[in-house]
């Protein structure tokens, strides 16, 4: 579905050249829910912008269903971290969700269907006539998610969408994502800096290195499909996977060789020597 090949991004300014991203290569299969996690400043947002066509890479390419991404492609929806700034403040919730559908030239009845369905799916059916600034942060982000879902995208990219939201709301929203994913079967790439969140949500976790960024690891998450904040997070398997991710991210040495596409399975009770359990 989504093919990322050899993405490289170099920023040049008057005094210095910064290689933000060195080489990112991976593939998302249709219907997958994958998480991308990495240390701060490792270029997660840069990668997401390149994947969504908002930014051009210095080298490499992104293919969406076989076609090269050059500018934001139709069929891809993005949910940004700054929910307050991604909703149009002069439009009501309903109008916000409907806007991309109007752009797609869908019929009025179909649009209404989609809007109603997606607002109901995120639990905001009664708020459809409100303005975004009348809603709480969590609700605003739900609107942004509803908008993305109503668009019926082939790929959904989410850029640390819950980073600016309080912990309790974050837990609710995480479950919402999994619900929506189950329901609509959209290929989703979820970028986050929160390791727990990545392991909880994803079928697969891609771990980025420090800048210049490459993929350090590509982990299959073999937790059960039915997940739950309480039980899943306290399961031993969760702890193991989490530890593995943590260890990869917090290793001191910068990335040298990228890991190729394809998930690495972690054997259930492997002991990698000093597994770190950390904060």
Partner 1 sequence: MTGILRRVGMTIGLPVLLLAAWWFASANSTDFFFPPLSQILESLVDEWFGPRLAADVLPSVLRLAAGYALAAVVAVSLGVLIGTSRTVRGVLEPVLEFFRAIPPPVLVPIFILLLGIGDGMKVVVIAFGCMWPILLNTVEGVRAVDSVLSDTARTYGITGVARLRKLVLPAASPQIFAGLRQGLSVAIILMVISELFAASNGLGFAVVQAQRSFAIAETWAGMLMLGLLGFLLALLFRVVENRQLRWYHGLRRAQRSS
Partner 2 sequence: MSGSPAVVSPGSAAPVSDTDALRRSPRRRSMPSAVLGLIGLLALVALVEILPRIGVLPREFFPTSSEIGSSLADLVGQASFWQAVLDTLYGWALGLAIASVAGIVLGILIGSSRFTREFTASTIEFLRPIPSVALIPIAVLLFGSEIESKLLLVVYASFWQVLIQVLYGVQDIDPIAQDTARAYGLGRWARVRYLTWPTALPYVMTGLRLAAAVALILAVTSELVIGNPGLGKLLATAQSSGAIANTYAIVVVTGILGVLVNLVFRAIERRSLSWHPSQRAELPA
Given the rule CB under 8 A, which residues bind partner 2?
A: 10-13, 49, 54-58, 64, 67-74
Q: State in angstroms the smallest separation of the CB of 74 from partner 2.
A: 6
Considering CB distances under 5 to 8 angstroms, the limit depending on partner class, which of partner 2, partner 1, none binds residue 192? Answer: none
Nearest 5°: the CA angle 212, 65, 114 is: 105
Under 8 Å CB-to-CB from 277, ≥6 apart: which residues? 239, 243, 246
Nearer to partner 1, 149 or 245 (CB): 149
**CB closer to partner 1, 102 vs 272:** 102
164 binds, among partner 2, partner 1, none (CB under 5 to 8 A by kind): none
3-state secondary structure of 162: coil
| Least distance from partner 1 to the Cβ atom of residue 278, Å | 32
Residues that bind partner 1 (CB under 8 A): 49, 52-54, 71-72, 74, 76-78, 80, 82, 85-86, 88-90, 99-100, 103-104, 131, 133-134, 151
CB of 48 to partner 1, least distance (A): 11
Which listed option, partner 1, partner 2, none, makes contact with residue 99 (CB within 5 to 8 Å by class)? partner 1
Using an 8 Å Cβ cutoff, are 81 and 163 in contact?
yes
CA atoms within 13 A on the CB side of 216: 24
Q: What distances in angstroms separate CA 91 from CA 88, 95, 107, 109, one per listed residue? A: 6, 6, 20, 20
The H or E element spanning position 176 is helix 167-184
Output 67 or 251, the one with its CB closest to partner 2: 67
Question: Which partner in partner 1, partner 2, none is near 70 (CB below 5 to 8 A by kind)?
Answer: partner 2
Please, what's the b/e burial string for 147-181 (b: 16 or more CB within 10 A of its CB; e: otherwise)? bbbbbbbbbbbbbbbbebbeeebbbebbebbbebb
Instruction: Tell the smallest beta-carbon distance from residue 49 to partner 2 (Å).
Output: 8
- Determine the distance from the C-alpha atom of residue 56 to the mean position of all C-alpha atoms in its chain, rounded to a whole number: 19
Give which of partner 1, partner 2, none residue 104 binds (C-beta under 5 to 8 Å, depending on kind): partner 1
163 contact, one of partner 1, partner 2, none, CB 5-8 Å limit per kind: none
Return the structure tokens found at 118.
């997606």
Pairing between β-strand 204-208 and β-strand 213-220 as defined by DSSP bridges: antiparallel
Shortest distance (Å) from residue 98 CB to partner 1: 11
Give 61 or 113: the residue with its C-beta nearer to partner 2.
61
């Amino acid at each position: 579905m989504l093919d990322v090949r050899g993405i490289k991004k170099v920023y040049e300014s008057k005094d210095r050249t910064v290689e933000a991203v060195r080489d990112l290569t991976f593939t998302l299969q249709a219907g997958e829910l994958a998480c991308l996690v990495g240390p701060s400043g490792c270029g997660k947002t840069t990668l997401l912008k390149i994947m969504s066509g908002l930014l051009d890479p210095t080298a490499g390419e992104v293919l969406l269903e076989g076609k090269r991404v050059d500018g934001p492609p139709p069929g891809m929806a993005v949910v940004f971290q700054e929910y307050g700034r991604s909703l149009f403040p002069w439009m009501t919730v309903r109008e916000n969700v409907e806007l991309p559908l109007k752009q797609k030239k869908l019929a009025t009845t179909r649009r209404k269907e989609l809007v109603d369905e997606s607002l109901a799916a995120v639990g905001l059916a009664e708020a459809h006539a409100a303005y975004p600034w009348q809603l709480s942060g969590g609700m605003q982000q739900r609107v942004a998610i509803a908008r993305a879902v109503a668009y019926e995208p082939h790929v959904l990219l989410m850029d640390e969408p819950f980073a600016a939201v309080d912990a309790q709301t974050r837990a609710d929203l995480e479950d919402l994502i999994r619900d929506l994913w189950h329901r609509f079967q959209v290929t989703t790439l979820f970028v986050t800096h929160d390791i727990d969140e990545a392991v909880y949500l994803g079928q697969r976790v891609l771990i980025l290195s420090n800048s210049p960024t490459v993929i350090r690891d590509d982990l299959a998450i073999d937790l059960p499909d039915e997940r739950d904040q309480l039980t899943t997070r306290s399961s031993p398997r969760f702890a193991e996977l989490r530890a593995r991710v943590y260890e990869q991210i917090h290793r001191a040495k910068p990335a040298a060789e990228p890991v190729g596409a394809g998930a690495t399975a972690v054997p259930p009770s492997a002991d990698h020597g000093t597994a770190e359990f950390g904060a």
